Amino acid sequence: MPLNNHPSSKPTYDFYDTVPFGKTAIANGELVSQQVNLPDASFPGGSTTWHWHSPEGISSYLVENSIGSYDLSVRLAASGIQYYQAQDLGIPRNRAANNKAIMDMQESILNFQTGFNGSYPFTTDGVVIGVPNAGFEEEMQTKITFANEFIDLDTLHHENMHQWWGDNVSEANYNLTFFKEGLATLGEYFFAAANAQAAAGGSSAAFEQSLVDTFNTEYAGSDLLWTGAPSDPRPATLFSGSKTYRRPGISYIALRRILGTANFNAALQQIQATYRQGSITEPQLEAAFTSFLPRPSAPCRARLGQFFTQWWDTVYPPGGGANRPQITGPGLDGGGFNC
């Protein structure tokens, strides 16, 4: 197929997979049809042609097309969203049952995440769990993939968050990987905060304290958190963890404290609406958040510009040193914001 291999290039897709009879083909979007074919020279035992359709554009690295022995099901939720679940039939029964219990939580995860991201941007969502040791999970658009026969709830929160960030609104270039991975990591932090809130009997203070605790722990973290700029990654360490995931993740915690919860959520939702099915640059991202400053004076806008530079664009010495980001928002409030 023609392939620009760039995250900002997002065509729509129709997939037609003709596979041996008894095998299942899974791709992005909606299952349109299954057609059983008579045996022929290519398929002596007969075949099935599966047609999947994605009405929304997909970045090439998020295209999913898996063929195997899958147990595939679909459920139409009251919201109108279709939820697909697929597990390889080779997964042991007990593990498959545990996996399904987590997959069944995807709708509640999606509903939780709409609280800050806004409406879900696609017509379908789903999970595919395979047997191969692929080494990692990925946020394939509307068909999140898990390897090694296993799914976990924390990672599902992360990957489902990507359906908004990276999938619907994509990075304008590869160096902006931090933008979407940081927001997906924030999804994990929100999940941990929701657990803390539930454990405290529904206390919103416990939710906020969990985020502060996460921020403080990560801010005091390793050298690798600081010794590279998230917006200027090295190819070999693009997915190394701390600079792409955790440092941007806690920067969003700080940004949420600066803007206020309501304004932060409103900014996320406006970005989703403005750049829907498109991509966003770093200046556009910063401008969108800046427009939601509670006091949008020139000094406050300049101060927020310094915040973005410190968190996303600056290299620090090992351990961060005395000059690591000083505009920190919650917890370690070095320098504060005062706007």
- List the domains of the chain with CATH numbers: 13-161 (3.30.2010.30), 170-312 (1.10.390.10)
Averaged over 96-102, what is the pLDDT? 98
Split at pLDDT 50, 70, 90, the class of 178 is: very high
CB neighbours of residue 223 within 10 Å: 12
User: What global pTM score does this model have?
Assistant: 0.96
* pLDDT for residue 304: 95
Unique residue bearing structure tokens 């690295």: 61
Split at pLDDT 50, 70, 90, the class of 334 is: low
**Tell me: the pLDDT tens digits for 296-318?**
999 999 999 999 999 999 999 88
Do the bridges between strand 24-27 and strand 65-68 make them parallel or antiparallel, or are there none, so unpaired?
antiparallel
Q: Does residue 57 carry a pLDDT above 60? A: yes
Q: What letters, b where the CB count within 10 A reaches 16 and e where it falls short, cover 130-151?
A: beeeeeebebbbbbbbbbebeb
**Tell me: the pLDDT tens digits for 275-295?**
999 999 999 999 999 999 999
Q: Is the dihedral of CA 251, 254, 258, 264 positive or negative?
A: positive
Q: Is the dihedral of CA 198, 199, 201, 207 positive or negative?
A: negative
- CB–CB of 141/56 below 8 Å? yes
Q: What percent of the chain lies above the pLDDT cut of 90?
A: 85
Split at pLDDT 50, 70, 90, the class of 101 is: very high
Distance in angstroms (rounded) separating the CA atoms of residues 263 and 322? 31
**Tell me: the pLDDT tens digits for 205-253?**
999 999 999 999 999 887 888 999 999 998 887 887 799 999 999 999 9
Distance in angstroms (rounded) separating the CA atoms of residues 73 and 75? 7
Q: Does residue 335 carry a pLDDT above 90? A: no
Distance in angstroms (rounded) separating the CA atoms of residues 333 and 150? 39
Q: Does residue 330 carry a pLDDT above 70? A: no
Distance in angstroms (rounded) separating the CA atoms of residues 201 and 295? 34
Distance in angstroms (rounded) separating the CA atoms of residues 178 and 163? 15
Distance in angstroms (rounded) separating the CA atoms of residues 83 and 67? 19
* pLDDT for residue 199: 98
Question: Exposed, middle or buried: residue 192 (CB in 10 Å: 0-12, 13-18, 19+)?
Answer: middle
* pLDDT for residue 331: 64
Nearest to 186 by CA among 146, 158, 226: 158
List of residues 6+ apart from 305 with CB closer than 8 A:
286, 290
* pLDDT for residue 153: 97
* pLDDT for residue 318: 84
